[in-house]
Amino acid sequence: MSQPDTRAWWRDAAIYQVYVRSFADGNGDGVGDLAGVRARLPYLKDLGIDAIWFNPWYVSPQADGGYDVTDYREIDPLFGSLAEAEQLIAEAHALGIRVIVDVVPNHCSDQTPWFQAALAAGPGSPERERFWFRPGKGEHGELPPTNWTSNFGGGTWTRVTEPDGTPGEWYLHLFDGAQPDFNWDHPDVRQEFEDVLRFWFDRGADGIRIDSAALLTKDATLPEVGTVDKHPFEDRDDVHEVYRAWRRIAEEYGGRALIGEVWMPDVQRFTNYLRPDEMHTAFNLNYLCAPWDADKLREVIDETLSSHAPVQAPATWVLSNHDVTRHISRYGREDTSFSFKGRDFGTPFDLELGTRRARAAILLSLALPGSSYLYQGEELGLWEVEDIPDALKQDPMWHRTGGVDPGRDGCRVPLPWSGDEAPFGFSPDDAATEPWLPQPAAWKAYTAQAQTGDPASMLELYRKALHTRHAEPALGDGPMSWLDSAPQVLAFSRPGNPDVICVANLSTESAKLPAHSAVLVASGDLDGDNLPPDTTVWLRP
Ligand code: NOJ
């Protein structure tokens, strides 16, 4: 087993997440694409990020924003072509930006040749064994094999019509019906994904983001949840074998990272995925879910660092992504935490307060040891759009819950780049089609153009923070130690010759700053030697 490379890029990278369909539209069809990303690479370089994670860009019917993949080796024509993806990777590399692609191994689209063949071949066929086909329960097989609940609401089984026209077996889908789950006990499935990994590593991908990483393997006896010790489809012990095999492939190439999407409140089980022969890093979703509260955040930070240390994996810090309510909105509400169950839509949020806290939160996150993930648009201070007309909503989460869950469209609204009215430079000026989701008129003041050069803007704060983080050897990977502080104030030191001190004031009163010789970056105005509420500062001691 190789020793962890302590200088590896993923240990302290600032990684920017590009949700392609909402980033920038190069061809004027109202949907973001690779041409749009290529034209904006200089913007990302200037922002100061180290890597880009692209959400799935593969051929897909887009039943779940591309997480329903038909061809893992080809780009959806909506976004461009494989040749263009290769160009994009080369151009990013030329700018010193690494590229992470998103691989979706738990499920595929129901339009894949494998799934179509399974439907056509009928019960008992080898084709069906690559998925989870089962007869139903009840007298005529009219009931699903289990009562498991889909992550998108509703059940996890859909009944098929057999080739002879009769109602037949059911297939498993932990997400939408258009996303059948693979059977990871099948050697074809393992082989296929090992090949897919090599395919993208061969094309220069520096990392793989692994979707729904804890869900792949299942208990083939299909017990009901809660009736047996081990969960039938979450975090099963045998899933680790998959990542050990993937790690061997990543090691063959060298310098490539495996990054897990592992939703796992239990930090010990979470860090099992980060053992030295498995993934390199995983998203710290506990940090994302934590409320804006110094004690809770400190608890998550301590738990993160102490659980990562034994496996020598770097921590990661995440505030938002394409699945969760944008953090400006969360931080502007009474309940500042995130959970899928309690998605708080419709409760008004205080934009001014949310923005102030978001500014403080990003400086806190970027000062912690490890790598950071930034979700496109957070650098512009965008909020969750909560008034998208129902007819325009696309998220299966909204559809499958009959609108009970507001869905994730509100954090996926196309970015505003320039100009005074929609599409705010998202599409070319002469585009015939409107953006695939409507942008709020108020985003006029939030375009990248409007914020550039304004030292008080969110964009300039991100630029300054990211460039300072690069320039300071103490930041990124490395040790930290807590400093004494008042209640609801987080203060810590990053030793690094020169050292950096970070102080975040989450209280409602000004806090006295520790002795310092200079202020490096502040999320808001300081009050002499005092740090106002909801403000973070980086200091030189
Ligand atoms: C997690 C992804 O982030 C999400 O967008 C997707 O819907 C599910 N996995 C299913 O692939």
Contact 460, 454 (CB under 8 A): yes
Residue 105 falls within a domain, yes or no? no
Rounded to the nearest 5 percent, the helix, strand and coil shares of the chain are 30, 15, 50
Q: Are residues 337 and 294 in the same domain?
A: yes
Of 423, 449, 475, the residue at which a domain comes to its end is: 449
- Return d(Cα 189, Cα 132) in angstroms, integer: 12
Ligand 1 atom nearest residue 106's Cα: 11
In degrees and rounded to multiples of 5, residue 536 shows phi and psi of: -125, 150
Query: According to the model, what pLDDT value does residue 3 have?
Result: 55
Contact 448, 43 (CB under 8 A): yes
Residue 223 falls within a domain, yes or no? no
Check which CATH number belongs to the domain holding 468 and give it.
2.60.40.1180
Q: Are residues 120 and 90 in the same domain?
A: no
Contact 280, 262 (CB under 8 A): no
Query: According to the model, what pLDDT value does residue 341 have?
Result: 84
Name the residue at shortest CA distance from atom 11 of ligand 1. 67
C-alpha 21 to ligand 1 mean position (Å):
15
Of 428, 449, 470, the residue at which a domain comes to its end is: 449
Active-site hit among 12, 176, 206, 211:
211
Q: Are residues 89 and 117 in the same domain?
A: no
- Report the residue among 100, 101, 173, 175 best suited for mutation to probe ligand 1: largest number of ligand atoms under 8 A from its CB: 175
Q: Are residues 472 and 442 in the same domain?
A: no
Contact 361, 327 (CB under 8 A): yes
Residue 191 falls within a domain, yes or no? no
Active-site hit among 195, 252, 295, 299:
252
211 within ligand 1 shell (Cβ under 6 A): yes
Query: According to the model, what pLDDT value does residue 1 have?
Result: 44
In degrees and rounded to multiples of 5, residue 88 shows phi and psi of: -60, -45
Query: According to the model, what pLDDT value does residue 4 have?
Result: 54
Residue 224 falls within a domain, yes or no? no
Name the residue at shortest CA distance from atom 3 of ligand 1. 323
| Spans in the chain with pLDDT lower than 70 | 1-6
175 within ligand 1 shell (Cβ under 6 A): yes
C-alpha 62 to ligand 1 mean position (Å):
12
Question: Quick one: residue 122, left, alpha or beta (phi over 0 = left, psi -120 to 50 = alpha)?
Answer: left
Read off the pLDDT of residues 383-397 as tens digits, 9 standing for 90 and up: 999 999 999 999 999
pTM of the model as a whole: 0.97
Residue 233 falls within a domain, yes or no? no
Residue 196 falls within a domain, yes or no? no
Q: Are residues 415 and 341 in the same domain?
A: yes
Name the residue at shortest CA distance from atom 5 of ligand 1. 323
In the residue annotation, 252 being an active-site residue is answered as yes
Query: According to the model, what pLDDT value does residue 387 have?
Result: 94
Check which CATH number belongs to the domain holding 290 and give it.
3.20.20.80
Q: Are residues 148 and 268 in the same domain?
A: no
Measuring CA to CA, which residue among 266, 260, 269 is closest to residue 212?
Answer: 260
In the residue annotation, 176 being an active-site residue is answered as no
104 within ligand 1 shell (Cβ under 6 A): yes
Name the residue at shortest CA distance from atom 10 of ligand 1. 67
- Our count of domains for the chain comes to 3
Query: According to the model, what pLDDT value does residue 345 have?
Result: 77
Q: Cβ-count burial of 420 within 10 angstroms (0-12 exposed, 13-18 middle, 19+ buried)? A: exposed
316 within ligand 1 shell (Cβ under 6 A): no
Query: According to the model, what pLDDT value does residue 5 have?
Result: 60
Of 137, 172, 207, the residue at which a domain comes to its end is: 172
283 within ligand 1 shell (Cβ under 6 A): no
Residue numbers of the domain that contains 470: 458-540
62 within ligand 1 shell (Cβ under 6 A): no
Read off the pLDDT of residues 243-268 as tens digits, 9 standing for 90 and up: 999 999 999 999 999 999 999 999 99
Q: Name residues whose C-beta falls within 8 Å of residue 303's C-beta, 6 or more positions apart in sequence.
A: 267, 286
212 within ligand 1 shell (Cβ under 6 A): yes
Q: Are residues 121 and 151 in the same domain?
A: yes
